[in-house]
Amino acid sequence: MKEELLTAFREKGLFVTPEALEIIMGKEEPMAFAVEVMERVKGPWVRKEDLEEKKEAPKLELNLRKPFRPAAKEMEARVKVFEEQDVTGKSTSEGKVGDFIALFRDRYEALSKMLRVRGNMARDIDTVKKKRLQDNTRVIGMVNSIHTTKNSHRLMEMEDLTGSLKVLFPKSDKTMIDVSQNIIPDEVIAVEGRMSKELFIAKQIYRPDVAMREPNRAEEDIYVALISDMHVGSKLFLEKRFHKFIEWLNGEGKERELAGKVKYITIAGDLVDGVGVYPGQEEELATDDIFKQYEQLHFYLQQVPDYIEMIAIPGNHDAVRIAEPQPALPKEVLGPLGSLDNFRCMGSPGYVSLHGFEVMLYHGASIHGIVPHTNNVNYEHPETVITEWLKRRHLHPVYGEKPPIVPEKRDYLVMRKVPDLLHVGDVHRNGYVTYRGAIGINSGCWQSVTPYQIKLGHHPTPGVLPLVSLRSGKITILKFGEEIK
């Protein structure tokens, strides 16, 4: 009966809140009551208060508003998931020493290959140490440690598959001292310099980085909408703002032409608030059953027009392992949401092509591991972290920081392909950047500020919707509050 009622309302262009639907289903003749409601409620939403008493029939008014004819509805979706970039169904780690060796070997080999393609020939560490070359040369290695000495030099130890090397950034070279401040543990870099006794004196460093290229673009004038961190089930979930977003997708409100061009929605994790994620969370939950949280999410997302394809990844609040890489949400957890024809899940990170425009989705929790190690990134500007990930071609370079990393034999956090768009979430703050042709966006959130965020001094941007044109790469920002701004 529930699905029949929802279908009947949808055919009339109406949406029903969960509270209203429960009341209707409790009637002696639910469908007859629903028909009566359809005749008198203007919509687009049928709420609990609309059922309390019959309203007077509205006066006849001349409505000259044009009908909503979404351009994206006339186009077939073109979605290609790059399965090789996704850990889902491939996790074989047992947490043994061999697994860790395989992980770091794969990371080193993948990133050192990018560095070798970029520049001059690099020698291995063992050769450089044995020959004690006085001429400038280049070595590639993974950073083991870096610190400031008592004499104010910077000393780094790096290693490759042949051995380890101590690299000195002399205090007399202020440029290199500044550069060394942003070198972080476990990243793979190339260092140019020369041997002096037992130390390699650094003159320049190089990262795998993003090469300048021509980004992929779609021929059609269509858009992808970016959302994340809805936290459905939390008392702080901004239901009314999310309703406005769904209404807008259905042609209500301003910017209707833009709404009609939305063909895809990407969701970068924390779809629900979860249960037992942190101490005392139960006090902040409106729904303390995670299965019901996903049912509530299904209620909202089923109202998204069926011609819009939704692609989601999990976050640290979702019902999968916190450790990265995260597999896709299982269907038994998603419940009815997993049966929506226009909804699909990938792991985090996940990589997908939308009309030829390539998008990498990553929840982004490793921001908490990179901020303490660099002096040019912060939570107020999450786009600065996106830039650092792109430079390093790795989404979680510092091992041992939160969240934990599963030692898979393949390092799924290496950015082996450069996306046209890197979509992340987690910190609840919108920010965006274009770096060497790659667009990076943190999509913000749909949850009000939490006590924990207040304690940390974070400043979320709820109800902000970034949209990206797949034809031009142009970014448009809409704000859902009382009205679209």
Residue-range domain boundaries for the chain: 2-64, 74-91+214-479, 97-206
Q: What is the CATH number of domain 97-206?
A: 2.40.50.1010
Tell the CATH topology of 74-91+214-479: Purple Acid Phosphatase; chain A, domain 2 (3.60.21)
| Selection from 360, 454, 475, 461 nearest residue 415 by Cα | 360
Residues 220-237 pLDDT 10s = 999 999 999 999 999 999
Record the pTM.
0.88
Q: What residues does 155 pair with on adjacent strands?
A: 147, 168
pLDDT at 324: 98
Under 8 Å between Cβ of 136 and 203: yes
Residues of the chain below pLDDT 50: 55, 57-63, 483-485
Largest CA-CA distance found in the chain, in angstroms, rounded: 93
pLDDT at 117: 86
SS (H, E, C) the chain: CHHHHHHHHHHCCCEECHHHHHHHHCCCCHHHHHHHHHHHCCCCEECHHHHCCCCCCCCCCCCCCCCCCCHHHHCCCCEEECHHHCCCCCCCCCCCHHHHHHHHHHHHHHHHHHHHHHCCCCECHHHHHHHCCCCCEEEEEEEEEEEECCCCCEEEEEECCCCEEEEEECCCCHHHHHHHCCCCCCCEEEEEEEEECCEEEEEEEECCCCCCCCCCCCCCCCEEEEECCCCECECCECHHHHHHHHHHHCCCCCCHHHHCCEEEEEEECCCECCCCCCCCHHHHECCCCHHHHHHHHHHHHCCCCCCCEEEEECCCCCCCCCCECECCCCHHHHHHHHHCCCEEECCECEEEEECCEEEEEECCCCHHHHHHHCCCCECCEHHHHHHHHHHHCECCCCCCCCCCECCCCCCCCECCCCCCEEEECCCCCEEEEEECCEEEEEECECECCCHHHHHHCCCCCECEEEEEECCCCCEEEEEECCCEC
- CB neighbour list of residue 90: distance below 8 Å, 6 or more residues apart: 408, 410
Cα–Cα dist 95/103, whole Å: 11
pLDDT at 485: 43
CA distances from 93 to 90, 101, 186, 237 (A): 9, 12, 20, 36
Residue whose pair of structure tokens reads 């169904």 in the numeric block: 89
